[in-house]
């Protein structure tokens, strides 16, 4: 049978309380008894010593003992709740505070040296029916021991006093244990109930309900943080699932369109629908669609290699030269549309430390986008600046811009921000995703600033080459 965490906690707490109470009872009883035994013996010995000092001279004449000190010793014995004996050096009891019941009795195996200044426990050679605490002090006169004062106190009276102390300890321990039961509701409301809600949320996620939210938004402790983390994780997984669906749909669509065109053109050529003199034109379209498929495939392979933390072949090179070469490669299309470049460099040479091929691809994609969405007879501005040992490259156009609600989505794979892009048969929707992955793989950032019908500016950073020399 499976026990819940709550049941285990309650059982564990009860067992802990019982074991703690038993341990306190055992240790306290022993410590209290030993403490009272020591304290009582010291007090009795002090009384015996005081009496011995006071009555030593009187005890030289045993005939005067009963007349002179008998009543005083009885009063002291009653005050101490004990028995007091006066014995000579042979162990003969000459005075007994208990109505003289032991007067004239010789203590068996009397050995005063073993008890002088110390205490002993027991029946004192069988003279008492119950255990007694006994202390003794010598009567000294003229440097000669003439007798002994012996005080006996019942062990039962010491145990009774010990029980009184223990009762106080037990009651205090019980009160503390009862007060500590407040831990149970605290544990219930701060740990168990939130943990149960988190478990319920985990079960929902396991069933595939990634939209479920664990209701612990108001808690600001570890449980609340765990719930927020799981809610965030579920949201990200839900977005990832939706992204995968969109990804598959986009890939299917982008592959199906050129394949359908290629099939249609080839079938038309084979069945004679297209005249022989037009065959070259349509074969050119087939080649164009094939190039589009190849570009799409290459883009996906590039993203896959970046996702797998592909190796960066870093080196120091001049970013100005790369920018000039990329712009030169677009001279043909720029001339047809009347688009020009305005290049601004902070220095004649701007060395950076990066992967030459991948940064060349970043610049190619950004410039290609700038040309694609610029108006005819416009200018594309490319600027290189240096700030805090970083090289910043800006590619800015004055074209159609990006809608505000689409700026955060432009980095998504296969995303196309407007209808004109959707109709662009040369676009794959992978260019900016590739750009971002490349820049981030260098440990750098890329930002975008765009206003509709005004233009768009992309800015990315690279480490300066001088810092690597």
Q: Give tens-digit pLDDT for 317-349.
A: 999 999 998 888 888 888 889 999 999 998 888
Topology of domain 201-309, CATH = Helix Hairpins (1.10.287)
Is the model's pLDDT at 56 over the cut of 50? Answer: yes
Percentage, residues of the chain above pLDDT 90 = 14
Q: Which residues contact 81 (CB under 8 A, 6 or more apart)?
A: 153, 154, 157
Contact 145, 138 (CB under 8 A): yes
Q: List beta partners, residue 347.
A: none
Mean pLDDT of the chain: 80
Residue 457: per-residue pLDDT: 93
User: What does the alpha-carbon distance between residue 334 and residue 371 come to, in Å, rounded to a whole number?
Assistant: 8
Which pLDDT belongs to residue 419? 39
Q: How far apart are CA 126 and CA 132, in angstroms?
A: 11
Residues with Cβ within 8 Å of residue 60, at least 6 apart in sequence: 141, 146
Q: What is the pLDDT of residue 460?
A: 94
Rounded CA separation 271/264 (Å)? 11
Q: Is this model's pTM higher than 0.75 or not?
A: no
pLDDT in tens, 121-131: 888 878 888 89
* Residue 119 CB neighbour total at 10 angstroms: 18
Retrieve residue 44's tokens: 């009795």
Taking a C-beta distance cutoff of 8 angstroms, is the pair 287, 258 a contact?
no
Which position has the token pair 């145990």? 159
Token readout for 366 is 């950004």
* CB contact at 8 A, 212 and 201: yes
Q: Give the mean model confidence (pLDDT) for residues 200-225.
A: 81
Q: Among 158-162, 163-167, 185-189, where is mean pLDDT lowest?
A: 185-189
Write phi, then psi, for 214 (nearest 5 degrees): -70, 125
* Cβ–Cβ under 8 Å, residues 53 and 151: no
> For residues 432 and 413, what is the distance between their CA atoms, to the nearest angstrom?
8
Structure-model confidence comparison of residues 396 and 388, the more confident one? 396
User: Which residues share a beta bridge with 355?
Assistant: 314
Question: Which of 51-60, 273-282, 297-306, 421-430: highest mean pLDDT?
Answer: 273-282
Whether the pLDDT of residue 1 is over 70: the answer is no
CA atoms within 13 A on the CB side of 349: 6
Q: In the predicted model, is pLDDT for residue 9 greater than 50?
A: yes
Residue 449 forms beta bridges with which residues? 457
Hey, which CATH number is domain 311-468, 1.10.3720.10, 3.30.720.200, 3.30.565.10, 3.40.50.1370?
3.30.565.10
Confidence at 423, pLDDT banded by 50, 70, 90:
very low
Looking at the DSSP bridge assignments, the partners of residue 213 are none
Q: What is the pLDDT of residues 93-118, one digit of tens each?
A: 888 888 777 888 888 877 766 544 46
Rounded Cα–Cα distance for residues 440 and 306 (Å)? 10
Do the domains spanning 5-178 and 311-468 agree at the CATH topology level? no
pLDDT at residue 63, as a whole number: 47
Q: Which fold has domain 5-178?
A: Beta-Lactamase (3.30.450)
Contact in structure between 392 and 355 (CB atoms under 8 Å): no
Q: What is the 3-state secondary structure (H, E, C) of the chain?
A: CCCCHHHHHHHHHHHHHHHHHHHHHHHHHHHHHHHHHHHHHHHHHHHHHHHHHHHCCHHHCHHHHHHHCHHHHHHHHHHHCCEEEEEECCCEEEEECCCCCCCCCECCCCCHHHHECCEEEECCCCCCCCCEEEEEEEEEECCEEEEEEEEEEEHHHHHHHHHHHHHHHHHHHHHHHHHHCCHHHHHHHHHHHHHHHHHHHHHHHHCCCCCCCCCCCCCCCHHHHHHHHHHHHHHHHHHHHHHHHHHHHHHHHHHHHHHHHHHHHHHHHHCCCCCHHHHHHHHHHHHHHHHHHHHHHHHHHHHHHHHCCCCCCEEEEEHHHHHHHHHHHCHHHHHHHCCEEEEEECCCCCEEEEEHHHHHHHHHHHHHHHHHCCCCCCEEEEEEEEECCEEEEEEEECCCCCCHHHHHHCCCCCCCCCHHHHCCCCCCCCHHHHHHHHHHHCCCCEEEEEECCCEEEEEEEEEEHHHHC
Inform me whether the pLDDT recorded for 29 exceeds 80: yes
What are the extents of the domains in the chain? 5-178, 201-309, 311-468
| Nearest residue to 396 via CA among 455, 328, 339 | 455
Encode 327-340: b = buried (16+ Cβ within 10 Å), e = exposed: beebeeebeeeebe
Taking 90 as the threshold, does the pLDDT of residue 407 lie above it? no
pLDDT of residue 467: 56
Q: Going edge to edge, which strands form the sheet with 455-463? A: 340-345, 379-387, 390-397, 455-463, 446-451
């Amino acid at each position: 049978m499976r026990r819940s965490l709550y049941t285990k906690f309650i059982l564990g707490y009860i067992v802990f309380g019982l074991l703690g109470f038993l341990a306190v009872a055992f240790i306290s009883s022993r410590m209290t008894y030993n403490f009272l035994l020591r304290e009582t013996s010291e007090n009795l010995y002090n009384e015996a010593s005081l009496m011995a000092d006071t009555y030593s001279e009187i005890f030289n004449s045993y005939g005067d003992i009963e007349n002179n000190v008998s009543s005083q010793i009885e009063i002291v014995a009653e005050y101490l709740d004990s028995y007091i004996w006066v014995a000579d050096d042979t162990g003969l009891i000459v005075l007994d505070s208990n109505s003289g019941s032991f007067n004239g009795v010789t203590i068996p195996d009397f050995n005063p040296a073993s008890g002088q200044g110390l205490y002993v426990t027991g029946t004192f050679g069988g003279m008492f029916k119950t255990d007694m605490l006994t202390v003794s002090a010598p009567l000294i006169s003229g440097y000669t021991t003439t007798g002994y004062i012996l005080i006996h106190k019942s062990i039962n009276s010491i145990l009774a006093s010990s029980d009184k102390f223990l009762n106080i300890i037990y009651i205090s321990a019980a009160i503390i244990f009862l007060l500590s039961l407040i831990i149970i509701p605290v544990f219930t409301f701060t740990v168990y109930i939130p943990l149960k809600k988190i478990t319920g949320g985990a079960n929902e996620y396991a069933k595939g309900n990634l939209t479920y939210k664990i209701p612990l938004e108001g808690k600001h402790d570890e449980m609340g943080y765990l719930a927020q983390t799981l809610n965030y994780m579920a949201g990200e997984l839900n977005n990832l699932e939706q992204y995968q669906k969109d990804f598959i749909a986009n890939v299917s669509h982008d592959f199906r369109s050129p394949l359908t065109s290629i099939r249609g053109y080839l079938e038309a050529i084979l069945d004679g629908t297209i005249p022989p003199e037009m065959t070259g034109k349509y074969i050119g379209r087939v080649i164009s669609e094939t190039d589009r498929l190849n570009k799409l495939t290459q883009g996906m392979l590039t993203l896959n290699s970046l996702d797998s933390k592909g190796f960066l072949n870093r080196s120091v090179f001049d970013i100005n030269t790369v920018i000039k070469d990329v712009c030169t490669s677009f001279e043909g299309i720029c001339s047809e549309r009347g688009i020009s470049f305005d290049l601004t460099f902070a220095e004649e040479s701007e060395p950076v430390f990066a992967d030459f091929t991948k940064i060349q691809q970043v610049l190619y994609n950004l410039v290609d986008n700038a040309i694609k969405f610029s108006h005819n007879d416009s200018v594309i501005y490319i600027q290189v600046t240096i700030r805090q040992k970083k090289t910043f490259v800006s590619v800015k156009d004055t074209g159609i811009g990006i809608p505000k609600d689409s700026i955060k989505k432009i980095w998504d794979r296969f995303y196309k921000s407007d209808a004109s892009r959707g109709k662009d048969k040369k676009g794959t929707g992978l260019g900016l995703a590739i750009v971002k992955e490349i820049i981030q793989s260098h440990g750098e950032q890329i930002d975008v600033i765009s206003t509709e019908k005004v233009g768009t500016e992309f800015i990315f950073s690279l480490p300066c080459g001088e810092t690597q020399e």
